[in-house]
Structure 1
């Protein structure tokens, strides 16, 4: 069976115009022209938790008082235009080819990559309905960009839980209780979790605790978008 990325030679990119401004693409450009890429909103953020800050920070005030279980956080931007629309097309619109350019952009921002990356797993039923796991597709591209291993079977999801986007932070934490199992017997001391969107951080925190209990010493988070807390 052909993987989504092996189908690129069949489907290619949708057309030869930028998907944002619709102007013609140059020779080495893929979905977006360099002018639109330069205008992707990338507000400064805390390198520990991922929250947007006024200035780039290694640790924000919230991390100093209550640090997250992971060590480093890398992201492309906030869950806003155009990343919000692109992630929605990738995740729910079946446009699996978007994982390639988005994963490439994310990989370029990772300055100290982990030796191995682990995608957030989907339950088999959800993966069947979607036909692919967007986090796995992203992780494979990021692994290639950062010369890392992609351990896509290291963790499995054992419970089919409701979608996290419909739940509050406390409901998300309860929803994830005993939802994952660590399958890998040996892991590097330093690994990264790859996801498309981080909102409350409940999922990646649960996975981080699972990895730390399994002997990993440092866990980082790689994601496309961070969702600011609701005001």
Structure 2
């Protein structure tokens, strides 16, 4: 699934192919997953990482050689106390018996939260926000995130990883919203 739809490829992906090769998600961003995810991300219920990634691991047929979390700027991580994507990545790597590395991609620019922004605003917000810190990457990589809304964040990361030679990039996420929903 390219965008996470229930078909191999949808019309929107044929028209505007995403930067990644396949997207695997546990569920749509609806009740009860949205509530669980909110509790995990904003209410400090980090113990939910394992049961949530268990749902996701069932969807992944050929795990990537290396899992990479979406990085969080150090200031945001300081205030939240943890990077939810890193917790998910660590748990998922253990379940899939594959490697993960929290510092291949670094967030070098603090940006306003993406929540509530339209896709074009999100892309602008993320310009020059990341850097890849490792130039030796395996051929198959997966980016792990909690929610894929417009795909802006993972698109930017895919572009950077492709510049470093990544051949296949998958996206593993707990939830996705409707593709290209203009929120």
Q: TM-score range by the shorter chain?
A: over 0.9
The superposition leaves residues 155-194 of structure 1 with CA deviations (integer Å, 9 ceiling, x where unpaired) of 0000110000121111100000010000113110110000
Partner-residue secondary structure (3-state), 2:142: strand
The structure whose residues are more often strand, as a share, is 2
Distance in 1, Cα, partners of 2:114 & 2:13: 23
Mapping of residues 121-140 of structure 1, within 5 Å? 121-140=71-90
- Structure 2 residue 146 is the aligned partner of structure 1 residue 192: no
Highest RCO, 1 vs 2 (Cα 8 Å, sep ≥ 6): 2
RMSD of aligned alpha carbons: 1.1
From 83, 88, 107, the equivalent of 2:57 is: 107
Alignment of 1:3-14 (within 5 A): none
Give the structure-2-normalised TM-score. 0.96
Pick aligned residue for 2:153 from 203, 212, 220? 203
Q: Distance in 2 between matches of 1:168 and 1:63?
A: 19
After the TM superposition, which residues 74-85 of structure 1 pair with which residues of structure 2 at under 5 Å, given as runs?
Answer: 74-85=24-35
The structure number with the bigger radius of gyration is 1
What is aligned with 1:183? Answer: 133
TM-score calculated relative to the size of structure 1? 0.76
- Conservation of the 8 A alpha-carbon contact between 2:67 and 2:100: yes
**Aligned residues, how many?**
181
Instruction: Say which is worse superposed, 139-148 or 174-183, in terms of deviation.
Output: 139-148
- Matching residue within 72, 83, 96 for 2:46: 96
